[in-house]
A and B are shown apart, each in its own frame.
Chain A
Amino acid sequence: MAKNDLQGTLDLLVLKTLDQNGALHGYGIVLHIQSASNDMLRVEEGSLYPALHRMEQSGWIAAEWAMTDTNRRAKYYKLTATGRRQLQQAEESFDQLVKGVRAVLRYA
């Protein structure tokens, strides 16, 4: 049984983004998800930041303050080893969800 929900999907998007891009700040994550999904997905800041902090507390991602290209201080996040394992699980879980939903749609 695939375990998934909307929050899980957000986590998956964030983890995947960090996996592909290395360290990113919150704004960077928003931009990446927006452009990578061809503007189809827009992440709400109100959901993103609590999720980032929760994942940090759980040890999936690590954060550190650094300077941006435009010379501003921002908090950068990157994937930890635990986070990488979590990503793998989340991806599998998501695949199953998609398969499950597809199967139901076909049946109807």
Chain B
Amino acid sequence: MAALRRIANLFRRNRVDTEIDAELQAHIDLRIDANLAAGMSPSDARRNALVQFGNVTATKERVAGADAALGLAGVWRDIRYAARQLRKSPGFTITAITTLGLGVGINTACFSSMDAVVLRPLAVPDLHRVMTIAEQPSHGDYQPVALANYEDWLRQSRSFESLAVRTRADMSLTGAGDAAHITAALTSASFFTVLRTQAQLGRVFTDAECQPGRDAVVLLNYGFWQRQFAADPTVLGRKIELDQRAYTIIGVMPKTMQYPSVAEVYLPFAPSSQQLADRSKHDYLVTGRLRDGVSVQQAQAEMRTLATHMAASYPATNKGWSVKVESLLDDINGDMTPLYYRLVMGGTLFVLLVVCANIANLQLARGVARRPEIAMRSALGARRWHIVRQLLTENLLLAVTGAALGVGIAALYLRILLITMPANVARYIPGWSNTSLNGRALLFSLVLAAAAGIIAGVAPAIGALRVNVLEQLKAGSRGTTGGSRRRMRSVFAVAQISLAVALVVGAALMSKGMFSLLHLADEYHPANVLVFNVTLPEKSYDTKQKQATWYDQSLERLRALPGVTHAEVTAALPYSDNGWLQDLEIQDRPAIPGKFQSALHLAVSEGYFETLHIPIVAGRGFTQSDSFDSLPVAVVSERFVARYFPDQNPLGHRVRLGGTNSHDPWLTIVGIARETNYSMWMPTQEAAVYMNTAQMPLEGATYFLTTEGNPTSLAPAAHKALAGLDPALPLDGVETWQQSIHEQLTGLMHAAGMLGIDAVFALLLAVIGIFGVMADLVGERTREIGVRLALGAQRGDVLGLILRRASWLTGAGISIGLVLAFLLAHLVANLLRGVSPDDPVVFTVITVTIAAAALGSSWIPARRAARVDPMQALRAE
């Protein structure tokens, strides 16, 4: 409190002064009154009062001193002094503030984005206490939960204060313009209890609504509400039609609750008694909030114990299954996103370090000019602490101004980021739309700026302490050279170069990796291919026959469109990471316990191989004679053969996908297709089993149309052709294959772009840094150079002398930088397929480029040195 009052007093010094005057005057007046009352003459009364009081001015000063604690007044004075000093050297000040602004700006932007996406993607209170609970088979990845198991957990587990279940449904929204395919999350009412969230508008479900027959209510996701209903606040009570059933809108979820991110609407989950008793369909996602005082490990242990009991009670379905408890945050973020963010954040902080080094360097250069000033202040009685404080204040003032600029830059950057992110990518990133410059980001930028100010200020301050007052004053304004100061500047230049090398190499490797990913699918000419997804609603396509007929007819119509050369359908396109990995059985070959057999389930239409130019290396591909009634056949990939039929002929063998409970028929292998990659990210590809959509139709599939000319112009025609067959069937994600690949890589492009910006900026600063050091060096050695030239040195020798020094600095910087770069490269290589951490081309090209840039920037001061006129240089002394 007292401190606050003192600070307040600083700003109303005038008022305080007047008040003190009035108070002291009142004292004197009161004594005059008393003296008069005692019978003194007016003039005596007055004189006596003044004499008794003593020196009014001195007292007033001391009172004012007590009001405004001296320390704080001193800080204010330092700030004003610093501002004056900075105004005096506008070149330095502008450079420093701009670079700091950029440094702090990109850091703040990066942090804001990371904060929104990775650190707090959902506005859920105590997010770290919310867990996802999955079932873990003895082999393979963890899986969703069977409903009867969830019901048991609900009754028996003690670790969670609430548990919720949900599943997902693809539905058609009809009765509002074009039929649209939407994704619904079917959730228990407790879902909102677990997340401790309320509807932004209206209300969430009640338990009563989660029962069959009473569940015709719907909650809208914020994004969907905006897109479909233009954020109309009067939607409550309106009805929408999903899969031909009317639902009443009861609420809208808040913008900060994009979870699950794919969900456009939330519907009450009203399971039938049959579903409730099912222990084999692993279709349900379970979340829970830990009870107070229960740790993740305790919850995990309890759930494992429950799983063991359940395995004993229901061996047929539960044997070998355990449970995995994981924090919801980890589940949302996945493995890669936090790593990308950390990489980019790290790179960006690196840049800030380069900025600090640059400012420190500039400050040291300014230090020479300021020596007389500092010496004068010391001579006039300023203590060392005062001078250091003054210099630090100056840097902090720079830093804070830089931070203000930085916040502006960050706001601009985020704006661009939000605009450029494709909407159908952003939708799947929970928290993306929350990206904003919030309090945490502002605090972060302030802390960074203060740290930057101090880091950049320490070296010059230490330099200032070394000033020898007597020598300095004797030397006058000419200034003597300081070896240690120049050493320090050299160290900063080397540090800048090495950080820049590391960043540039990291960014280059990442861009190279990204470029190769972008062009992985080039052999298929993805720019000429139109793709879209169709999901057949269960209700109207309830038999395999109906589904097969749909594919047959729809492809026929699409192939008839002018401009379309091929129209095919597949479960997954190459590099799409969309394929389903399923358990594999091979007939007459009993499964070996503990050995997990799996293959990608790839249903494709008949002309798939021909359209994508995938050769059939043995046997045959699919033909028109493969129909719903003929023998179900399969084509397998080369990797499949290598893995499951090494040195054997697989043709004629029969396989089945989907595990022991599968109702699918056995498929007879009739051909082997050339190996094709279905994943962009996985280092090793899976074995694949292709089947014919005419025999094994899918509920949802990707259509792809190869075209002559611009594929997107065909989209309306394709839309119309399919609407002619079934107007209620929505098409999803109509775009070129190329666009779809770009969207897959958006996150990575963002990361690579950020790192690229970092690298360019760091390189620029490093070049400025070495230029500054060399210019400084030439300036200081002008006299020496003059003497050398006068004694007969050649201009070339002088040029060589300066450039040798520059080479030495550059060489040291690059050597350290390469070591750093190698470490960074290993990190990038772990994140990205196709990046080799010891890519000789990248390393060589960048080393040469940076060396050239650094030496090039030294060329100007070196030439100035070579042109020194010896007469003038010597006369100047």
Chain A interface (Cβ < 8 Å from any Cβ of B): 25-27, 44-46, 49-54, 57-59, 68, 70, 72-75
In this assembly, does B69 line the interface, its C-beta being within 8 Å of a C-beta of chain A? yes
- Considering residues A45, A68, A73, which has the most beta carbons from chain B within 10 angstroms of its beta carbon? A45
- Residue in chain A with minimal CB distance to B1: A59
**What is the bound-complex CA distance between A57 and B66, given in angstroms?**
8
Pick from B2, B22, B31, B63: contact of A49, CB under 8 Å = B63
Mark interface residues in B627-651 (1 if CB within 8 Å of A CB, else 0). 0000000000000000000000000
**What is the bound-complex CA distance between A64 and B651, given in angstroms?**
103
**What is the bound-complex CA distance between A84 and B22, given in angstroms?**
27
B1 proximity list for chain A (CB < 8 A) = 59
**What is the bound-complex CA distance between A40 and B59, given in angstroms?**
23
Would you give 20 A-B contacts (Cβ < 8 Å), ordered by A?
A25-B27, A25-B30, A26-B23, A26-B26, A27-B26, A45-B59, A46-B55, A46-B59, A49-B23, A49-B62, A49-B63, A50-B66, A53-B66, A57-B67, A59-B1, A70-B30, A70-B33, A73-B22, A73-B26, A75-B23
B63 proximity list for chain A (CB < 8 A) = 49-50, 52-53
> Beyond A45-B53, A49-B27, A53-B63: 16 further Cβ-contacts under 8 Å?
A25-B26, A26-B26, A45-B52, A46-B58, A50-B59, A53-B66, A53-B67, A54-B66, A57-B2, A57-B66, A57-B69, A59-B1, A72-B26, A72-B33, A73-B22, A74-B23
Contact B65 A27 (CB under 8 A): no
The 6 A-B pairs of least Cβ separation, nearest first, read A53-B66, A54-B66, A27-B30, A50-B62, A74-B26, A75-B23
In this assembly, does B128 line the interface, its C-beta being within 8 Å of a C-beta of chain A? no
A49 proximity list for chain B (CB < 8 A) = 20, 23-24, 27, 59, 62-63
Contact A46 B54 (CB under 8 A): yes
In this assembly, does B47 line the interface, its C-beta being within 8 Å of a C-beta of chain A? no
B19 proximity list for chain A (CB < 8 A) = 75
**What is the bound-complex CA distance between A58 and B62, given in angstroms?**
16
**What is the bound-complex CA distance between A44 and B56, given in angstroms?**
12
B31 proximity list for chain A (CB < 8 A) = 27
Contact B59 A74 (CB under 8 A): no
Contact B24 A72 (CB under 8 A): no
Q: Whole-angstrom distance from the CB of B6 to the nearest CB of chain A?
A: 6
Known pairs A25-B27, A50-B65; A57 contacts B5 (CB<8 A): yes
Pick from B6, B27, B55: contact of A26, CB under 8 Å = B27
**What is the bound-complex CA distance between A75 and B55, given in angstroms?**
20
Mark interface residues in B42-71 (1 if CB within 8 Å of A CB, else 0). 000000000011110011001101110100
Q: Whole-angstrom distance from the CB of B39 to the nearest CB of chain A?
A: 16
Pick from B22, B27, B59, B62: contact of A27, CB under 8 Å = B27
B69 proximity list for chain A (CB < 8 A) = 57
B54 proximity list for chain A (CB < 8 A) = 44-46
B67 proximity list for chain A (CB < 8 A) = 53, 57
In this assembly, does B29 line the interface, its C-beta being within 8 Å of a C-beta of chain A? yes
Q: Whole-angstrom distance from the CB of B326 to the nearest CB of chain A?
A: 53
The number of residue pairs between A and B whose CB atoms lie closer than 8 Å in the complex comes to 67
- Residue in chain B with minimal CB distance to A57: B2
Contact A72 B55 (CB under 8 A): no
Q: Whole-angstrom distance from the CB of B51 to the nearest CB of chain A?
A: 11
A50 proximity list for chain B (CB < 8 A) = 59, 62-63, 65-66
**What is the bound-complex CA distance between A4 and B54, given in angstroms?**
26
**What is the bound-complex CA distance between A74 and B1, given in angstroms?**
25
**What is the bound-complex CA distance between A46 and B5, given in angstroms?**
23
**What is the bound-complex CA distance between A73 and B19, given in angstroms?**
11
- Residue in chain A with minimal CB distance to B58: A46
Mark interface residues in B731-761 (1 if CB within 8 Å of A CB, else 0). 0000000000000000000000000000000
Pick from B2, B20, B62: contact of A46, CB under 8 Å = B62
Pick from B30, B52, B59, B65: contact of A68, CB under 8 Å = B30
Pick from B6, B30, B65, B66: contact of A74, CB under 8 Å = B30
B59 proximity list for chain A (CB < 8 A) = 45-46, 49-50
- Residue in chain A with minimal CB distance to B36: A70
B27 proximity list for chain A (CB < 8 A) = 25-27, 45, 49, 74
B53 proximity list for chain A (CB < 8 A) = 45
**What is the bound-complex CA distance between A25 and B26, given in angstroms?**
9
A58 proximity list for chain B (CB < 8 A) = 2
Q: Whole-angstrom distance from the CB of B759 to the nearest CB of chain A?
A: 53
**What is the bound-complex CA distance between A4 and B803, given in angstroms?**
69
Q: Whole-angstrom distance from the CB of A70 to the nearest CB of chain B?
A: 5
Q: Whole-angstrom distance from the CB of A5 to the nearest CB of chain B?
A: 16
**What is the bound-complex CA distance between A58 and B66, given in angstroms?**
10
- Residue in chain A with minimal CB distance to B26: A74
A26 proximity list for chain B (CB < 8 A) = 23, 26-27
- Residue in chain B with minimal CB distance to A54: B66
**What is the bound-complex CA distance between A72 and B20, given in angstroms?**
15
**What is the bound-complex CA distance between A53 and B59, given in angstroms?**
12
Q: Whole-angstrom distance from the CB of A78 to the nearest CB of chain B?
A: 15
**What is the bound-complex CA distance between A14 and B65, given in angstroms?**
19
**What is the bound-complex CA distance between A73 and B62, given in angstroms?**
22
A52 proximity list for chain B (CB < 8 A) = 63
Q: Whole-angstrom distance from the CB of B49 to the nearest CB of chain A?
A: 10
**What is the bound-complex CA distance between A45 and B52, given in angstroms?**
8
**What is the bound-complex CA distance between A94 and B33, given in angstroms?**
35
**What is the bound-complex CA distance between A6 and B409, given in angstroms?**
57
Q: Whole-angstrom distance from the CB of A60 to the nearest CB of chain B?
A: 10
- Considering residues B19, B27, B31, which has the most beta carbons from chain A within 10 angstroms of its beta carbon? B27
Known pairs A45-B59, A46-B58; A72 contacts B23 (CB<8 A): no
**What is the bound-complex CA distance between A29 and B31, given in angstroms?**
12
**What is the bound-complex CA distance between A57 and B26, given in angstroms?**
21
Instruction: Tell me the chain B residues, 1-39 only, with Cβ under 8 Å from chain A.
Output: 1-2, 5-6, 19-20, 22-24, 26-27, 29-31, 33
